[in-house]
Amino acid sequence: MHESDELTENPHSLPTISYPDDLPVSARRAEIAQAIKDHQVVIVCGETGSGKTTQLPKICLELGRGLQGKIIGHTQPRRLAATSVAKRIAQELQSEIGDWVGYQIRFNDKTGPRSAIKLMTDGILLAESQRDPLLSRYDTIIIDEAHERSLNIDFLLGFLKQLLPRRPDLKLIITSATIDAERFAQHFAHKGKKAPVIEVSGRLYPVDIVYRPILDPSLVDAEERRSTSEEERDLMQGIVDAVQECARHGTGDILVFLPGEREIREATEALEKEKPINTVILPLFARLSQADQERIFRPKGNARRVVLATNVAETSLTVPGIRFVVDSGLARIKRYSWRNKVEQLRIEAISQASASQRAGRCGRIGPGICIRLYDEQDFKSRPPFTDPEILRSSLASVILRMKALHLDDVETFPFVEPPTGRAIADGYQILQELGALDEQQRLTKVGRSLAKLPVDPRVARMILAGHEHHCLTEMLIVASAMSVQDPRDRPVHEREAANQAHARFNDDKSEFLSYVKLWNWLEELSQEQSSQRKFANSVKQALLSPLRIREWRDVHTQLRSLVQEQRWVANPSAATYEQVHLALLTGLIGNIGYKSEETGVYQGTRELRFVIHPGSKLVKKAGRWILAGELMETTRLFARCVARIEPQWIEKVGAHLLRKTWGDPRWEKKAGQVVANERATLYGLLIYSGRRIHFGRIDPVQARELFLRQALVPGEIDSNLPFLRHNRQQIQAVERLEHQSRRPDILVDEELIYAFYDQRIPKDVYQTATLEKWFKGLSKEEAKGLELNRDELMQHDAAGITTEVFPRSVEWQGVKMALDYHFEPGSVRDGVTLSVPLFALNQIDAARCEWLVPGMLKEKVLALLKSLPQRIRRHCVPLPDYAAAFHQRWFEKAADPGMSLLDAISQDMWTQLKQRPQRSDFKPETLATHLFMNFRVIDEHGRMLSGGRNLDQLKAEHGRQAQASFQQMAASDEQVAQVLDHEQLTSWSFGELPELMEIKRKGRSFIGYPALIDKKTHCDLDVFDDPAQAQRQHRQGLRRLFRLALREQVRFLEKNITDLTRISMLYINLGTQEQLRDQIIDVALEQSCMMEPWPKNQAEFEARVQEGRSRLGLVAQEVARLAGQILTEWSAAQKKLAQIKAHPEALKDIQQQLNALMPTLFLESNEYAQLAHMPRYLKAVQTRVDKLRADPARDQRLMQDMSVLLTKYQRAVAALKGATDSGLRDFRWMLEELRVSLFAQELRTPMPVSVKRLEKAWAALQR
């Protein structure tokens, strides 16, 4: 040992200062002392074991530093290092802690009034700089472990560079195990002269470096791995081989450096299987429990220890007894992503400086061996030094601290390595997000409050929000917990036990509240336990760390004292879930996520996608929206410490950060304003969309334009202002002219109406309320100036458009029905629409409706003339002239023409041209839709029941309901009731039966149609609204009356119809002989007695009876003969069906055809004239069967040709619900003729027929 020769005078006796001979720095102490005397800044570069940390303060003390009321400040990056170094220096000075040497760490100050040397963390010195910017307590400052380049170290170095010119008496010594000396020397250059650098050797014993490269699994894929030689191994196997190699070299403990806890666990499992005898495996990482740390730093027994450590063992902690080092060359390096705003903890290759630090750990007790699991070339290609923390961290806390110290902007601050512009911008953005800086990047009131809290700015913002949201008690607990290591221990071999022990603290919705539950439990426990030892034992039993709990409490105490200085009062009662998480959101708003469609994945801000950490208790039951305390990227991006939140909370605390866009601005009549759909995102994450908002506040100019265009111009505004009502009436009048004339060019362009309003409406009027308010202040003349006149609205004169040719209503049999005109090609409303009351529906005459209205007649006639074949059409040329002349000739008769329009045209052409086209010559299916009447069926309250252009279909749908309504109304008329007051009729004893009856109700007249009703044994009288239905009922009733009058002849026929027995045998599958007999007689009665016109009085009836007596017998025999012919062909067709069972589709089609042709009442249900064609139809079936057997493909092709038409017909019949439709009835027989034409063409058809012709006929039916 060398003792000092000269000691500086001081108020009290200095301790004896000696320097251990075995430390390299002792040999250089004179050189170092001279450098300190001669220079304000000295850089000492010494490797591990050089003694610089413990001896430099003594050299300074020996020089007289730290005396005369000043002290020597010595910073360490970690608290453990600060306390252990202080104890070591005090031991060498033979002094107690707190005497010559003291230390100060967070919440623990062990310095005294005589202390000359003060060990402390760099954070303590930073905190002092805020209270004392000149650091006037110190005459010397030693910054140790500068190679770590933490944020605190870099900030201190920049701060001290600015301070040194103002404190020429201050000495600064920068020390490090490995350091970029040239960079630091240049940084602290004075007047162009670099600061001196003194290098001190470090190792006491030589260390052999051995390279044993392994295959890096992160750099090759599986295919490459399979193709690699067997000598190459993975990381775990490489560690096992290296440990076994170390064991062969002799005794001594082994220190293995690995990237993280997961790799430590995997290596533990691998080594346990192949470890040498008398060897223990010990893990070492930052979260290790106190008990496990004791096993490493206070070894017991003689077993070889294999310590598996993270990079925490490089410089921070010295593991005793290490002779061998196995270096994986990897470490988990924390990097901050400025783009994504998340921390990334990735495995990276370490720098050369870190590799040297690791190797230096095995040369302290004797010669050592360091096995590097990578090759020498790899080592040489690595960067010399690890990136400083300032280049891979968020700068928010640094900028906040600088703003609080009134230092230069971060852009000009003298950092050793200035951060990038992106990193600085990110720091500013975070502080603005927290509300700590304004737009001019000046510290706000919030920022000044945050700067007083020694925690991360985000955590500080949460504490401030806790005060604002009355949940300060909970936020102090959570904020202090987030500022320390998790107090819950999870030993490697007791993980399940730890989960069970900690389950009592779990919360179903929030892991933040788990801290609150744990804190409350600890508070109750501390009150129950009488001593600190019992408290600590209870805590350990719950698998909690007493050391971290004490640290948690210390941080909480400090934060509580700081908020008390602000006079913030803790909430006396428990805060609500919403209050707590609103406060959390203020600091962590960038850490929100929305559950995506992908299982377990959340969509975060800034296009991030993350999953909840698998260790979380909420991993399977987190809500749709969550908040994370931390987003950390390792193998993937994980969210830690999560809670459910509601999306509306995000808007509450982050309204200033939401980016809002607006779409689909539109006028909303009910609201009386222009509204739009609002969409809000937070850093790209959709928070809400489709929110309806008042657009006038967002964009008054566009809102006014939309207000004028969509509200005022079309009159779509709910207001009774006089000018609006006047203008609306004027525009509607002109629009009616357009619809009636089918000319869209009468009303002026909307742009002209818009310009009219734009010139008169003020710029700040964009909704109904402001319009009405402004209008109230106008004079009568000004108000009158807002009215449009008809001349201004019309582009040209609308001559000829009168109510005479375009009536507003039409009267039909005493019922007045409204007509409405609409011009919109393609719309169901296009053309003229007749509003038909339900009770009058059955009375509407389809033939009359063909004539439309006089104003549209000319156009329809012209279209019908164009549809005629050219051979007929050529007689009418020029067609427009003929159509105009027809219109003139028939104008007076158009209101009641007495015939259909087709018949009228045919008659007119005969009269004018001696040409008579048939109805089949016209092609109505070619006409435009608007040339057919549109019907709108309404109930008694004017509500629409249904509509369309097919009157028969509407009658089928509503006919029964209409009939019931009509009969109920007719029964209330006394005169009608008197006429119908006849029952049990067996002869014509009721006088003359009128063709129609007038029914009066409420001063209006309606037309009814009386009819005889067949009651089998007699007849009754009733009245109907539909002439067709009345005719059907009257036909059956009249036939019954004739049967009763000719009962003798009928009895004779019942016994004497020729061949009845034979044809009844053919009929047996359809019905009984009696049914066939009655049909023959009924048809014979109709053909004998019921020729049109039918009798209307008793005399006419009796005359028909007399005629029938002489004819009935002969007619009946003819009907019987025809029935026999039909049944014979039908029976033959039935027998042939057995031949085509192998063709089920054709068989099914034929059976359906036969069933339709031959119902039980086939004679009655078909018109007599049509019965003559039925044998041909049935022969066609037989012919089809024969051809089908020979060529099935042909039959299938022909069946497909007509299948579409057949399907349409069947659907239309079903839609009629039993009602009749003459058009469909005719189409049915056209289908039968088509079958003959397709399947039995040799039987011929009475008129040309084809699939195309039927398609056109069908199209005409649908109009």
pLDDT in tens, 521-575: 998 888 887 677 788 788 888 888 887 787 788 788 878 888 887 888 889 899 9
Residue 817 CA to residue 811 CA, distance in Å, equals: 6
Structure tokens at 57: 């303060």
- Looking at residue 225, its pLDDT comes to 37
Name the helix (H) or strand (E) containing 19: strand 18-19
Of the spans 281-290, 359-368, 704-713, 991-1000, which averages the highest pLDDT? 704-713
* The predicted structure's pLDDT at residue 380: 93
Which helix (H) or strand (E) element contains residue 235?
A: helix 235-248
740 falls within a domain:
yes
Query: In what helix (H) or strand (E) does residue 685 lie, and over which residues does it extend?
Result: strand 685-694
- 694 belongs to a structural domain: no
Q: Which of 148, 181, 200 is the last residue of a domain?
A: 200
CB of 356 within 8 A of CB of 195? no
Q: Is residue 1130 part of a domain?
A: no
Q: Are residues 147 and 218 in the same domain?
A: no
Instruction: Out of 512-516, 920-924, 1026-1030, 1039-1043, pick the least confident.
Output: 1026-1030
Asked, for residue 117, whether it belongs to a domain, the answer is yes
Instruction: Write out the H or E segment, with its range, that includes residue 372.
Output: strand 368-372
Position 745 pLDDT exceeds 90: no
H/E element, 1136: helix 1098-1136
Q: Which amino acid is at 212?
A: R
Q: Say whether pLDDT at 592 is over 50.
A: yes
Tens-digit pLDDT profile for residues 1241-1250: 999 998 889 9
In angstroms, rounded to a whole number, what is the distance separating the alpha carbons of residues 869 and 872? 6
pLDDT given for residue 224 in this prediction: 38
* Per-residue pLDDT tens over the stretch 20-72: 887 888 888 899 999 999 999 999 987 766 788 899 999 999 999 998 889 99
Q: What number of other Cβ atoms are within 10 A of residue 964's Cβ?
A: 13
CA atoms within 13 A on the CB side of 916: 4
Which pLDDT score is estimated for 1114?
A: 92
Query: Which of 6-10, 443-447, 766-770, 1178-1182 is predicted with the least confidence, judged by mean pLDDT?
Result: 6-10
| Mean pLDDT over each residue of the chain, to the nearest integer | 85
Residue range 1122-1137: average pLDDT?
Answer: 93
The pLDDT of residue 897 is 85
Last residue of a domain, one of 147, 170, 200: 200
- Phi and psi angles of residue 1022, each rounded to the nearest 5 degrees, phi first: -150, 170
Residues 144 and 238 in one domain: no
Query: HSE on the CB side for 586, CA within 13 Å?
Result: 26
Are residues 134 and 218 located together in one domain of the fold? Answer: no
Q: What is the CATH number of the domain that holds 373?
A: 3.40.50.300
Residues 784 and 889 in one domain: no
Q: Which residues of 387-405 are buried (b: 16+ CB within 10 A; e: fewer)?
A: ebbbbbbbbbbbbbbbbee
Domain count of the chain?
5
Per-residue confidence (pLDDT) for residue 3, from 0 to 100: 43
Predicted confidence (pLDDT) per residue in 184-224, tens digit? 888 888 888 888 999 887 656 788 999 999 864 444 343 33
Q: Give the whole-angstrom CA distance, residue 545 versus residue 193.
A: 51
Confidence at residue 182, expressed as pLDDT on a 0 to 100 scale: 77
Confidence of residue 15 (pLDDT cuts 50, 70, 90): confident
- Point out which residues pair with 282 in neighbouring strands: 307
Quick one: average pLDDT of 415-422? 85
Q: Is residue 635 part of a domain?
A: no
Contact between residue 1025 and residue 1009 where contact means Cβ atoms under 8 Å apart: yes
Q: For strand 207-211 and strand 368-372, is the pairing parallel, antiparallel, or unpaired?
A: parallel
339-392 pLDDT per residue, tens: 556 566 677 899 998 898 888 888 777 889 999 999 999 999 999 888 888 888
Is there a single domain that holds both residue 738 and residue 771? yes
State whether 114 and 177 are in the same domain: yes
Assigned token pair, 933: 């009447």
| Beta bridge partners of residue 3, listed in sequence order | 18
Domain span at 131? 2-200
Query: Which of 906, 933, 961 is the C-terminal boundary of a domain?
Result: 961
DSSP conformation class of 767:
B
Share of the chain above pLDDT 90, in %: 37
Indicate whether 646 and 724 sit together in one domain.
no
Verify that 186 and 216 share a domain, yes or no: no
Residues 101, 177 within the same domain: yes
Residues 777 and 824 in one domain: no
**Is the pLDDT assigned to residue 7 strictly greater than 50?**
no
234 & 165 share domain:
no
Amino acid, res. 727: N
pLDDT of residue 228: 35
Q: What is the mean pLDDT of residues 755-764?
A: 88
> Which residues touch 949 (CB under 8 Å, ≥6 apart)?
929, 932, 933, 934, 935, 1262, 1263
1072 belongs to a structural domain:
no
pLDDT of residue 222: 37
- pLDDT (tens digit per residue) in 676-734: 999 999 999 999 999 999 999 999 999 999 999 999 888 899 998 998 888 888 777 77
Same domain, 647 and 770: no
Q: Tell me which of 161-165, 289-293, 403-407, 715-719 is least confident.
A: 289-293
CA dist., res. 471 & res. 476, Å (int) = 9
- Is 45 a domain residue? yes
Reported as a pLDDT band with limits 50, 70 and 90, residue 828 is: confident
Q: Which residue has the tokens 């251990």?
A: 20
Q: Is residue 223 part of a domain?
A: yes
Q: Determine the Cα–Cα distance for residues 1080 and 261; give it in Å rounded to an integer.
A: 104
